[in-house]
Amino acid sequence: MEFQQLKLFLAVADALHFGRAAQQVGMAQPHLSRAIARLEQEVGVRLFDRTSRRVVLTAAGERLREEAIALLQAERRAQEAARAAGQQRRRRLRIAYVSAALYRALPAALRSLSASTEPVEFALHEATTNEQLALIAAGEIDLGIGHPPFDTHARLASVLLANDRFDAVLPADHRLATRTTIRIEELAAEPLVLFPEAQGPALYAAIRDRCRVAGRVMQLAATAPRLHGQLSLVAAGLGIGIAPRQSRSLAVAGTVRVPIKPYPAALVLPLAAMYDPRSRHPALPPALAALRRAVTRRAGGTGDGNRAAAAR
């Protein structure tokens, strides 16, 4: 059994259609059908049930699909390990991140790694936490920076970097905009501008719960996936928003930030580094260390960002 056979098998297993799979791999359908037949002969079992109308995986095919994915991922990691070993002077690290990582942790870490004696090249792109988990599982990124909670397991490890708190963000002409602090009960009585629930279901639920504890049903005025968009909608007078303290450098005209006091302990924005603990990428340990230093320096050694933010 060869890796190419497994790749052809996975193409059919994903498409469940020999014609579409043949187009995807650039092969004539009869050649693909014969390749799958040879693979079935080698393993000694049928991998697909074929009828004139559909193609489905057998139980043996389902199991082989799981193992084939793991084997091809291992092949990719082996290739990358060999490539990295030959490129110690210039190492490429694939990083995905949520937008909150840009407030503090990621820029400082990138600057530190770029200035090191063994500089690192970066492949960067923004992705949700769930997208990053899938990318790590597929071996397509080396490091993710996202928001817990998520389940760790043998192929996923994480390091908590920060637990940020929020400010209330009000339209500049709002009746509460001149206050030095605002209570969560007062926020709960106002229409809110938030992120989409699917983007951060745990945090969204925490906000909804705080409204319920305050005796209110959460009023959702509008949503936007990025903080700048949320602040712009607040400036337009659609409602009140919340913004991480680490984002205080991000200002939108027509908005005012007001600290929330007393602060509800359940309302935090955790940020964590995520990676495959089996990875042997030479730049991964220094990258994790740089991220820890970035949040620790700014937080006065606490790592949660709260004291540093409160002092500003």
**pTM of the shown model:** 0.64
Q: Which residues does 65 contact at the CB level (< 8 Å), separation at least 6? A: 9, 10, 13, 57
What residue spans in the chain does CATH classification 3.40.190.10 cover?
90-163+269-296, 166-259
Give the type of residue at 57.
L
CATH-assigned architecture of domain 3-84: Orthogonal Bundle (1.10)
Superfamily of domain 90-163+269-296, CATH level 4: Periplasmic binding protein-like II (3.40.190.10)
What residue spans in the chain does CATH classification 1.10.10.10 cover?
3-84
The first and second tokens of residue 172, run together, are 């500049």
Rounded CA separation 270/281 (Å): 25
pLDDT tens for the chain, 312 residues: list them: 888 899 999 999 999 989 898 998 899 999 999 999 999 999 999 999 988 788 999 999 999 999 999 999 988 888 887 776 665 545 789 999 999 999 989 999 999 988 887 778 899 999 999 999 999 999 999 999 999 988 878 789 999 999 999 999 999 999 999 999 999 999 999 999 999 998 888 899 999 999 999 999 999 999 999 999 999 999 999 999 999 999 998 889 999 999 999 999 989 999 999 999 999 898 999 999 999 999 886 554 433 333 333 332
CATH-assigned architecture of domain 166-259: 3-Layer(aba) Sandwich (3.40)
Please compute Rg for the chain using Cα positions.
25
